[in-house]
A and B are shown apart, each in its own frame.
Chain A
Amino acid sequence: MENRLRVLRAEQDWSQQDLAEKLEVSRQSVNAIETGKYDPSLPLAFRIAELFALPIEDIFVSPARRSSKAI
């Protein structure tokens, strides 16, 4: 799933490892989410949203909304 995690992380000047430690996940997880290779579960998505104090939809792009824009 497309997301703004890399941008948000860069704004905070955090490394992938920093973010992984804050979320209590592996660095590989952060990398997989950032590159869109892995879609986080709802609880993890909420943790990410709460960490950045943003709504989930401001971080993750809805696939349905994205495809409707493409049309």
Chain B
Amino acid sequence: MSMSPAHRRYVRRIFVSMSLYIATLFVAVSQFRHGHVEGPLAWLLALLPGLCVAGVFWALGKLLAEETDEYLRSLLVRQLLIAAAITLSVATVYGFLENFGLVRHIDAFYLTMLYFIGMGVGAAVNRVSGHSGGRC
């Protein structure tokens, strides 16, 4: 299946974001583990991995804006809405469970992982419903 130019740019942006994420996470973890950082540098190192992952959401937004094929765009919108619905539903339900002391606290960045899993579910829903354009 050939990729649209917008989708090729999206893949490139994801590759850059995830490469930077791995690099900044490696640096941050190693520096914090050795206790070398404090003050503004500590903030910067702690912020960078998260900002790199935020780059994935920027890339998704750009894909939505740049994809000229309206059908593929509609599939992407459905995929992202399914991911958002799953993530926000789990976050809300889990938040109440945590608030009532029934489950342990989980770091917020796991929601991002859940969102990516939700995108996979969204792509599967597109496929099962007979739409085969979901490629994210």
Min CB–CB distance B89 → chain A (angstroms): 27
- CB of A28 within 8 A of CB of B68, answer no
Q: Which residues of chain B have a CB within 8 Å of any CB of chain A?
A: 1, 4, 68-72, 74, 130-133
Q: What are 26 of the A-B contact pairs (CB < 8 Å)? A: A24-B68, A25-B69, A25-B70, A25-B71, A26-B4, A26-B69, A26-B71, A26-B133, A28-B1, A28-B131, A28-B132, A29-B69, A29-B70, A29-B72, A29-B133, A31-B132, A32-B71, A32-B131, A32-B133, A33-B71, A35-B130, A37-B131, A38-B71, A38-B131, A40-B70, A40-B71
- CB of A38 within 8 A of CB of B74, answer yes
A25 to B2, CA, bound (A): 12
Q: How many residue pairs bridge A and B at CB < 8 Å?
A: 35
Per CB-CB distance, the 6 closest pairs between chain A and chain B, nearest first, are: A29-B71, A28-B133, A26-B69, A25-B69, A38-B71, A32-B71
Q: Does A61 contact B (CB under 8 A)?
A: no
Q: Which residues of chain A have a CB within 8 Å of any CB of chain B?
A: 24-26, 28-29, 31-33, 35, 37-38, 40-41, 44
Known: A26-B133, A28-B132, A28-B133. A41 touches B70 (CB 8 A): yes
Chain B minimum-CB-distance residue to A25: B69
Contacts of A26 in B (CB 8 A): 4, 69, 71-72, 133
Contacts of B130 in A (CB 8 A): 35, 37
A33 to B133, CA, bound (A): 13
Min CB–CB distance A46 → chain B (angstroms): 13
Contacts of A40 in B (CB 8 A): 70-71
Min CB–CB distance A20 → chain B (angstroms): 9
